[in-house]
Amino acid sequence: KAGVTQTPRYLIKTRGQQVTLSCSPISGHRSVSWYQQTPGQGLQFLFEYFSETQRNKGNFPGRFSGRQFSNSRSEMNVSTLELGDSALYLCASSLAGTSGRLSTGELFFGEGSRLTVL
Amino acid sequence: AQKITQTQPGMFVQEKEAVTLDCTYDTSDPSYGLFWYKQPSSGEMIFLIYQGSYDQQNATEGRYSLNFQKARKSANLVISASQLGDSAMYFCAMSTDRGSTLGRLYFGRGTQLTVWP
């Protein structure tokens, strides 16, 4: 069974550009969440999608956006890149259903997309 | 507010010895879950173990066990018989019962574990 796949794994951008990152969840998983990991701030929640709807959003500026498609694949976009956006962006998928919260640890992460902004 | 604290930036252990990684948490939610993840240098977060706030027994998964002390709000990870491949960053995380939030975890800052021969 394939795991969570994130593309691209590495990318370099310059300030002011925009970037789109992709995440393919584990087959059958309908929930996808995104995290930003930096040495200074650690792991921070970006947003979460379930059945194409954004269910929750972390404390990030509007330059950070995302979406989920009908096949549960998700993309996140960062516009007008800043140096501080350099980070590892992790995607996680879950089988969690409409009943609500994560229960037994079935949140699986991809290997991340490492973004460097110059 | 939800908060996870890992006070050990780095830990060292000799191969085949046991090691305990500390984690304390803070939440006002009566229902929550506690997780430990391992992150090797490749970047992927690998799920290790889960403990629910209402679980009566401490969780165990192979060489990993979670020492859950609810009154102290601690959820320490115990790794028995350490292996060289256990060298990685370890994160403690928490999810809370917040309605529609399905996959939101609050993470600690992590503990870098180094296993030496």
For A2-34, the pLDDT digits (tens) are 799 999 999 999 999 999 999 999 998 888 999
Distance CA A45, CA A66 (A): 13
The nearest alpha carbon in chain A to B91 belongs to A43
Residues of chain B found within 8 Å of residue A32, distances taken between Cβ atoms = 103
Give yes or no for residue A100 having a pLDDT over 70: no
Q: What is the mean pLDDT of chain B?
A: 92
Look at strands A113-117 and A10-13 and give their pairing: parallel
- List CB contacts of B19: < 8 A, sequence separation 6 or more: B11, B13, B78, B79, B82, B113
Distance CA B3, CA A3 (A): 29
Residues of chain A found within 8 Å of residue B103, distances taken between Cβ atoms = 31-33, 48, 92-94, 96, 102, 107
Mean pLDDT score, A97-115: 73
Mean pLDDT score, B21-41: 92
Res A103: pLDDT: 55
Res A97: pLDDT: 55
Q: Which of A108-112, B82-86, B102-106 has the lowest mean pLDDT?
A: B102-106
Res B2: pLDDT: 86
Is A25 part of the contact surface with chain B (CB cutoff 8 Å)?
Answer: no
The nearest alpha carbon in chain B to A33 belongs to B103
Question: What do you get for the CA distance between the two ends of chain A, in Å?
Answer: 37
Q: How many Å lie between the alpha carbon of A1 and the closest alpha carbon of chain B?
A: 16
What phi-psi label fits residue B86: left (phi over 0), alpha (psi between -120 and 50 degrees) or beta? Answer: alpha
Give yes or no for residue B1 having a pLDDT over 90: no
Q: How many Å lie between the alpha carbon of B82 and the closest alpha carbon of chain A?
A: 23
Q: What is the mean pLDDT of chain A?
A: 90
Q: How many Å lie between the alpha carbon of A39 and the closest alpha carbon of chain B?
A: 9
Give the rounded percent of residues in chain B with a pLDDT score beyond 70.
94
Burial tier of B67 (Cβ tally within 10 Å: 0-12, 13-18, 19+): middle
Res A35: pLDDT: 96
